[in-house]
Structure 1
Amino acid sequence: MHLLLPRWLIAIEPRGVLTDHALVIDGERIVDLLPAPAALARYPEAEVTRLPEHALLPGLINLHAHSAMTLLRGYGDDLALMTWLNDHIWPAEGKHVSDEFVFDGTLLAIAEMIAGGTTCANDMYFHHGAVARAALSSEFRMMVGCSILEFPNAYAANADGYIRRALECIDEFRGENLVGFTLAPHAPYTVSDDTFRRVITLADELQIGIHCHIHETQDEIAGSLKQHGVRPLARLAGLGLLGNHLIAAHMVHTTDEEIALLARHGVHVSHNPASNLKLSSGFARIADQLAAGINVGIGTDGAASNNKLDLFAELRLAALLAKGASGNPEALPAWQALEMATLNGARALGWDDRIGSLRPGKQADVIAVDLSAAGTQPCYDPVSHLVYAADRNQVSHVWIAGRNVYAAHRHLSLDLADAQARARRWQSRISA
């Protein structure tokens, strides 16, 4: 039994800030949330962690990531998306991506994410087993997205090969608490109608989600109009892809009709503000999507297009962009931004019964943020500070499924020096 005693406790469900309260963890789960004096009296034998200047809140959820691409951080910067992909990223991946590359890159990403208060990521990449093993070895929660494309790389020769390898991996890790899977058709411009139909059928049979880049750029939309005669979302709707099993990454360019379509089908959206800006993809209509009732979470995308996996930075950017793009200073207030990075992400993954808020019965994915720094003083509203003023370096403690994986700014579930050394070896190989 473990009692956490923060200055502020932000459970997300319900909204509000509790003071002088305790969160009680037993094994993997939260078992109680009650005033601190009552907790100390009820659980006199429990281990106690006092967090006198800290906000305690659910771990952040990165709803769209390519974790292994940390090894390509800063590689081919300041380019348009398709130039960046065709001339830099895909050639580098074709030469270097392997089980070892993906494990090492994912491990580095996990080290960065845990230290920044992220306890769960929705990934999309190749060598899915390596992603799962990196997560399990570092006690990190990971939704492993099994990428599917038509064209070959070292991992698979065609869409059938990608799907076969995905199914093998899903079967291998079945039953793991910290690891789940989605089928991840890369994008409408890299996946055929027949493959999309097969993905839909398999996802339904396996009762798993689908994760796909959609409407990221105007070029994607123009290409679809030329090839298929309709915009990508209309094509996917015709194929039957839209539904509450789908996480649509980016959704930058949406009409009123498309926003209504997404809402009607219960599609989840991952908003990736820094990546959208860096690749000049555009400004997503997030305020309008939220107003329509769409469940929107927040993602970083990969470190190659961001260039960091920092959800505190994304929180602030998402809130400010929503205000600027809509002309409404009340658009996306701090509370809603924080919900996007926690409970909304959990809902998108189908894991809101286990994570995303600090509610008894849920698994204890919890972070503590020290707000005593000069940049977060004075503190009238800890929620406001978490979104607009705090940074990831103020995360002091992290628990995932009840296990303390980061304490006093030190990793407890992975060897940071080893992860950094692996990254340096890959830098030497890629530079050469």
Structure 2
Amino acid sequence: MSSTPKREVDIVIEARWVVPVEPHAVVLEHHAVAVDDGLIVDLLPIADARERYAPRETVDLSEHALIPGLINAHTHNPMTLMRGIADDLPLMTWLKDHIWPAEAKAIGPEFVRDGIEIAIAEMLRGGTTACSENYFFPDVQAATYRRHGFRAMVGLPLIEFPSAWAKTRDEYFDKALAVHDELRDVALIGTAFAPHAPYTVSDEAFERTRLLSDQLDIPVHLHLHETAQEVDDSRRDHGVRPMQRLQGLGIVNDHLIAVHMTQLTDAEIALCAEAGVSVIHCPESNLKLASGFCRAEDLRRAGVNVALGTDGCASNNDLDMFGEMRTAALLAKAVANDARALDAASTLRAATLNAARALGWSERVGSIEAGKEADLAAVRLDAIEMHPIYNVVSQLIYTAGRHQVSDVWIAGVRKLAHGRLTGIDVAELRERAQRWRERLQ
């Protein structure tokens, strides 16, 4: 009697633990993930995988947890070149007196390209396989991410003052639409409208953004309710709080990716839940700029999709999603006065599947499920400081760090192998960073 022939696949990854994220809080021991043509084709016990598949490559992760690639849902990656340039200052002083003047001196295609390449290296080394960008020169951003095979949602910037990218409101919109059209069918790259904030964007521009967002079915990625001053200024200038103003302009809907959200009433939380808004929590940036506290657990319990982002390196000062997860979980407990708030499994979900949902990618990435693209990260758990291990998910959130990420795949392509980046010259990136430091200081 002949046995069933094994199916040929590109890769089988055998792991001590697999944390698929969906189903929620599940940890699978001694499981394997089969990958072919960039897609996850199976998740099953290692013994069964050896019987069923004939891989061209087998990866042994006998002391690792395999998780979905982390998704940084809000960042300004060109600003890696401003890491530490103006620390220990409140938001508006930091922004108006330091960041905007520095950008005026340096911003351009080369600045964006170099900053993003440094960010890609940092993100990959920390298990991050996708990000949502919010910066100028989205065409250069997209080209850089494509060159490195990194998944990114590229923001199409809108702001009411001239920049090196565009001079007028109409030019911002014209360029945004041109970039969107160019990227419409590009693998790994998406687009979102990125009006900067309520205090830098007019009613007319918001109304136009809403109309185009609806027509093109793409998100609106926006800083919102970041500080108490923003709320006070909106009351003074518009007679209402920022969310109420945006609600009247039609912006508060399931396309909205609302970032920071440190100043929320119960009614605004309910509105977010009803409208299908996704909230991106950036705890470390909010803490460093003393912007306020996002009520992450109240949002989660209300049914709002809460994801995590680092913000940019000028205000964080890193792109470390492991650090962000730990800070988010701990801070949520203090803000809610409840040790059960934002538990470990929910925190990991916020950095993976919830982030994918916010970006409209939850059918493609964010969990380890058959049919999804193989964006994966392996975390070594064999170091003595990791033992004993009672709960793998808790260990990932409260004990592990990005230095324990050993291997990363994006759409089945290995980007980090045994802790070493593939196809990236780190020494050359350091030299470029030094040249920018000399120019910007």
Place the TM-score, normalised by the shorter chain, in its bin: over 0.9
Residue 303 of structure 1 aligns to a residue whose secondary structure is coil
Alignment of structure 1 residues 275-290 onto 2, 5 Å: 275-290=285-300
Alignment of structure 1 residues 31-46 onto 2, 5 Å: 31-46=41-56
User: CA contact under 8 A between 2:262 and 2:292: conserved in structure 1?
Assistant: yes
Residue 294 of structure 2 aligns to a residue whose secondary structure is coil
Structure 2 match to 1:416 = 426
Structure 1 match to 2:267 = 257
TM-score normalised by L of structure 1: 0.99
Q: What letter is aligned with 1:345?
A: A
Aligned partners of 2:262 and 2:170: how far apart in 1? 30
Among the aligned pairs, what percent are the same residue? 52
Residue 167 of structure 1 aligns to a residue whose secondary structure is helix
Selected match of 1:392 from 392, 396, 402? 402
Structure 2 match to 1:3 = 12
Alignment of structure 1 residues 49-60 onto 2, 5 Å: 49-60=59-70
Structure 2 match to 1:248 = 258
User: CA contact under 8 A between 2:183 and 2:191: conserved in structure 1?
Assistant: no
Alignment of structure 1 residues 350-429 onto 2, 5 Å: 350-429=360-439
Report the more deviating stretch, 416-425 or 195-204. 416-425
Gaps of 5+ in 2: 1-9
TM-score normalised by L of structure 2: 0.97
Structure 2 match to 1:173 = 183
Selected match of 2:72 from 62, 72, 78? 62
Gaps of 5+ in 1: none
Residue 351 of structure 2 aligns to a residue whose secondary structure is helix
Deviation at residue 428 of structure 1 after TM alignment: 1.3
Structure 1 match to 2:110 = 100
Deviation at residue 45 of structure 1 after TM alignment: 4.3
Aligned partners of 2:431 and 2:411: how far apart in 1? 28
Root mean square deviation of aligned Cα: 0.8
**Does 2:223 align with 1:183?**
no
Aligned partners of 1:133 and 1:381: how far apart in 2? 41
Residue 301 of structure 1 aligns to a residue whose secondary structure is coil
Aligned partners of 2:283 and 2:300: how far apart in 1? 15
**Does 2:21 align with 1:12?**
yes
Structure 2 match to 1:296 = 306
Aligned partners of 1:351 and 1:45: how far apart in 2? 28
User: CA contact under 8 A between 1:137 and 1:414: conserved in structure 2?
Assistant: no
Q: What letter is aligned with 2:316?
A: N
User: CA contact under 8 A between 1:58 and 1:365: conserved in structure 2?
Assistant: yes
Deviation at residue 378 of structure 1 after TM alignment: 1.2
Aligned partners of 2:105 and 2:147: how far apart in 1? 26
Aligned partners of 1:174 and 1:246: how far apart in 2? 20
Aligned partners of 1:45 and 1:305: how far apart in 2? 44
Aligned partners of 1:95 and 1:212: how far apart in 2? 25
Residue 310 of structure 2 aligns to a residue whose secondary structure is coil
Deviation at residue 130 of structure 1 after TM alignment: 1.1
Deviation at residue 43 of structure 1 after TM alignment: 1.1
Structure 1 match to 2:96 = 86
User: CA contact under 8 A between 1:103 and 1:130: conserved in structure 2?
Assistant: yes
Structure 1 match to 2:170 = 160
Deviation at residue 13 of structure 1 after TM alignment: 0.9
Residue 20 of structure 1 aligns to a residue whose secondary structure is strand
Selected match of 2:330 from 302, 320, 323? 320
Structure 1 match to 2:236 = 226
Structure 1 match to 2:5 = none
Aligned partners of 1:173 and 1:292: how far apart in 2? 35
User: CA contact under 8 A between 2:12 and 2:55: conserved in structure 1?
Assistant: no
Deviation at residue 420 of structure 1 after TM alignment: 2.0
Structure 1 match to 2:3 = none
**Does 2:37 align with 1:27?**
yes
